[in-house]
Every structure is written in C-alpha cells, then in structure tokens.
Amino acid sequence: MLDLTEKTGSGKAAPAARPSLVGLSREKLAEALVAIGVPASQTRMRVAQLWHWLYIRGATDFGDMTSVSKTLRADLDRHYTLARPEIVSEQISEDGTRKWLFRFPSRGAGRPVEIETVYIPEEDRGTLCLSSQVGCTLSCTFCHTGTQKLVRNLTSEEIVGQILMARDRLDDYPGRFAQGTAGTPETGRLVSNIVMMGMGEPLYNFDNVKEALAIAADGDGIGLSKRRITLSTSGVVPMIPRTGAEMGVMLAISLHAVRDDLRDELVPLNRKYPIAELLDACRAYPGLSNSRRITFEYVMLKDVNDSLADARELVRLLRGIPAKINLIPFNPWPGSAYACSDWDQIERFAEVVNRAGYASPIRTPRGRDILAACGQLKSESERLKIRERMALEAMIAG
Ligand code: SAH
Ligand code: SF4
C-alpha cells in the first residue's frame, strides 16, 4: 500500500463563498451566465464553450479558457469557481486500486464533509466508484458505510467533482490522446466506467444523482455511454421505474438473500419493499435484453446465505429476468459480525448459478489493503483507530 497523502498535500480548503459551475445542468449553467449579465442570445454558445473546457479539457481555472473573451473570463472568476474537492488522502493499493478521501466545504450551516471515491483499473476498463451520500440511512448489517449515520446528500456538483478530481489525479485528459480528441474508453481513457457503488443509497438522492449522471453521459463532455454507467440500489422499489425512464443507466440490485426473513435482517429496507416487489420492478425495467442485463449483487456470508439451496432458489427467483449475478466475497471490517464464505463454497455456489445459464463472476476483492473494497468505505471523521486497523490487517492476513 502506498500513501501519497503527504506528496499530494492536504491543500487549502476550496473557497466556499463563490458557487461552483461544476455539475450544473446546461440549463442551470445558462442561468448562472445570465445572472452575471451574459445576454440571453449568447448563452447557448457560451454554455457550449464552458462545457468543453470543463468536461473535455478539465480546466480548473477560468484563465485557461482561451476561447472565451478576457472580460468574460474575469467576470466568471469574480462570481464563480471551478474548485475541486480538497484531497485529504490518496492511497494506492498493491493491486493498483486507488482510494481518495475528499473533503467538500460546508454548505449553509453544515460542516465540511468527507467521502471516499475508489478507482479500480482492470485490463479492459477503469472503473470509478462514486459516493452519493455522506453515510447512509439504511444500516445493512454487513456494510461498513451502514454503521455511519447519514450526514447529508451530496450535490450534483460534488458527485461530478469526484469524477473530475479522479481524472485530474490520473491525468486522464487530452494530451494523453491523439491531438484534438478527448479520448474514448476504446482509445484508452482511464476512467471508462462509472458505478454508483460507493457510500450511500443513490436512489435516496435521486435528483442530484440524475443530474450528475446526465453530465457523465453527455456526448459533448465526459461522454460515457449509459451502458458504462451502473447504479446500484439496495432496493428502493418506488424509484426503480423512474431510474429506467429518467436516467436510463444500467441497474444493479443488492439482493444478498433469497428469503424475506433473512433479507429483512441483512438489508432492513426489505421490510418495506420485499423480494417479490423488488423483482417485479426489475422485470419491468425498460430496455432489458441479453446484452443489457440487470446485475444482482450477492455478498457471500459464511453459513448465512451461502448454501446450495440458496443458490438454487436464487436461480429460480431470477427466472425470466435478463440477469448477471455478481458474487461478492464478504469484505471484513472491524466489528463486523460476519465471515466470508470459504472459497470452495463460493465456487460450488457459482457452479449452480452457472449451470442455470447465468454468468456469475466472483468479484475479486480489490484494494482490501487500503479498505477500498465494497462495503469498507467510511468517512475520515470516522476513520479507523490504530487498534482497529491492526485488527483488520490481522483479519485480512489470516
Ligand atoms: N447503497 C447501494 C450502493 C452502495 S453499496 C447498495 O447498497 O446497493 C455497493 C455494494 O457493496 C452493494 O451491493 C453492497 O451490498 C455491497 N457491500 C456492502 N458491504 C459489503 C461488504 N462488507 N463486503 C462485500 N460487499 C459489500
Ligand atoms: Fe447503505 Fe448500500 Fe451500505 Fe446498505 S449496502 S448500508 S444501502 S451503502
């Protein structure tokens, strides 16, 4: 594990006084321009220019926007900022996974908040795992984030800020690509995929997540195809139809159990929206096909949900839904009440699922040494005490 915190510096807090232009929809960006006196007849053109500088060139300073007149650059700088979150720490795992702890300035009467963002490089893609909330209201019993109370929703600016900051740190902007192009996932863009699988329940922060993902998918900017954007939910059933209709991104469902009594315990939201209702909402998700499937996440908990009878029931439940099943070895955290299933058992479970015709990749845990794996994220304000970290390291080594 490599800790680059000192080298990147913990920087000064971004000035909070001027509002940021990062993460605004085109409409809101136009309003922000009109508010500083840009004539309405010019806003379309100006928005297009700003969009290019913000999302293709990764500008962090209005002064760099050479296609924008000097007077307007100065006006923009007086009223707005392009500030990124402050980096509190940056860690690189032995396997190349990177984890950042970002701090956003306070909003209104609130305090500054801290969240984690993780980048996972693989051979054919680079996936950025974004947080949608500080903490989570849902208290799933196997999830570290769930032990942290919800502090607040992240704004669209803060969600997009995570993407821009990761791309800054990875040097994922033009200059790396053929002249005049912004690079695409196919030409080696480092951030080629986005998953809303960090801290928080994205469907409890619908409007901000929707606005941020629309920016990530915008073809004149970050330009990631919606097939490369996946939103994971613990099962907020009433918001699933709207996710399909208004965001149109790929869906992942944190299923984790095949019986309501057990899912009630593991994912307490199940008491409100039980398995049958959740799967009905999945069946109705628009645009499903063999090449556009729902991912069902299933965390492997030893002697809790990992029997072969569970595997058979899983297959039966998902019948008729174009599905991928993602088996996630449980990632331990200090104080967690569960153990990860034995590897043999995970393989036997996967075999039942495979035989029924489902791809069921076992997700290799990434970045465990820096607590960046699924369900291990938590804010700095709740950072592990040294004793807890030692206990965790012993657990991983064992
Ligand atoms: N709140 C959303 C998205 C964030 S969690 C959701 O629950 O879907 C991302 C994934 O990691 C979810 O599938 C979650 O169930 C899983 N996860 C949480 N804690 C875990 C742990 N300790 N080990 C492995 N996976 C975990
Ligand atoms: Fe929240 Fe998802 Fe963790 Fe459950 S698994 S506590 S919904 S972040």
Write out the two tokens for 146: 């769930």
Name the residue with the closest Cα to ligand 2, atom 6: 146
Name the residue with the closest Cα to ligand 1, atom 17: 375
Rounded mean pLDDT, 166-188: 69
What are the pLDDT digits (tens) for 340-358? 999 999 999 999 999 999 8
Contact residues of ligand 2, CB 6 A cut-off: 136, 138-140, 143, 145-146, 200-201, 234, 254
Name the residue with the closest Cα to ligand 1, atom 24: 330
Angle at 190 between CA 6 and CA 203, to 5 degrees: 90
Residue 374 a catalytic site member: yes
Smallest-distance ligand from the CA of 146: 2
Place of tokens 């480092």: 190
End-to-end CA distance of the chain: 18
Query: What structural domains and CATH numbers belong to the chain?
Result: 21-79 (1.10.150.530), 86-386 (3.20.20.70)
Read off the pLDDT band of 381 (50, 70, 90). Answer: very low
Residue 133 to residue 139: CA distance in whole angstroms: 13
Using alpha carbons, list the distances in angstroms from residue 343 to 260, 319, 327, 349, 370: 26, 26, 11, 10, 22
Distance between Cα 131 and ligand 1 center (Å)? 12
267-303 burial code (b ≥16 CB/10 A, e <16): bbbbeebebeebbebbeebeebeeeebbbbbbbbbee
According to the model, what pLDDT value does residue 95 have? 86
Top mutation candidate among 297, 301, 366 for ligand 1, by most atoms within 8 Å of CB: 297
Distance between Cα 37 and ligand 1 center (Å)? 46
Residue among 286, 274, 265, 206 at smallest CA distance from 237: 274
Task: Report the atom number in ligand 1 closest to the C-alpha of 297.
Answer: 13
Residue 140 a catalytic site member: no
Task: Report the atom number in ligand 2 closest to the C-alpha of 144.
Answer: 3
Smallest-distance ligand from the CA of 197: 1
Say if residue 397's pLDDT is above 50: no
Name the residue with the closest Cα to ligand 2, atom 4: 140
Distance between Cα 376 and ligand 1 center (Å)? 9
Instruction: Name the catalytic one among 129, 136, 282, 374.
Output: 374
Contact residues of ligand 1, CB 6 A cut-off: 140, 142-143, 197, 201, 232-234, 254, 297, 299, 328, 330-331, 374-375
Smallest-distance ligand from the CA of 254: 1
Rounded mean pLDDT, 183-187: 63
Say if residue 386's pLDDT is above 60: no
The strand order across the sheet containing 250-254 reads 2-3, 86-92, 98-104, 113-121, 126-129, 193-196, 229-233, 250-254, 294-300, 323-329
Summary mean pLDDT of the chain: 87
* Type of residue numbered 204: Y
Smallest-distance ligand from the CA of 140: 2
Using alpha carbons, list the distances in angstroms from residue 292 to 59, 164, 196, 273: 34, 27, 17, 24
Residue among 92, 230, 209 at smallest CA distance from 162: 209
pTM above 0.85, yes or no: yes
Contact between 134 and 151 under an 8 Å Cβ cutoff? The reply is yes
Task: Report the atom number in ligand 2 closest to the C-alpha of 199.
Answer: 8
Top mutation candidate among 205, 302, 328 for ligand 1, by most atoms within 8 Å of CB: 328
Say if residue 359's pLDDT is above 90: no
Instruction: Name the catalytic one among 114, 116, 157, 211.
Output: 116
| Three-class secondary structure of residue 280 per DSSP | helix
Say if residue 335's pLDDT is above 80: yes
Distance between Cα 107 and ligand 1 center (Å)? 28
Contact between 150 and 132 under an 8 Å Cβ cutoff? The reply is no
What are the pLDDT digits (tens) for 298-311? 999 999 999 999 99
Say if residue 110's pLDDT is above 80: no
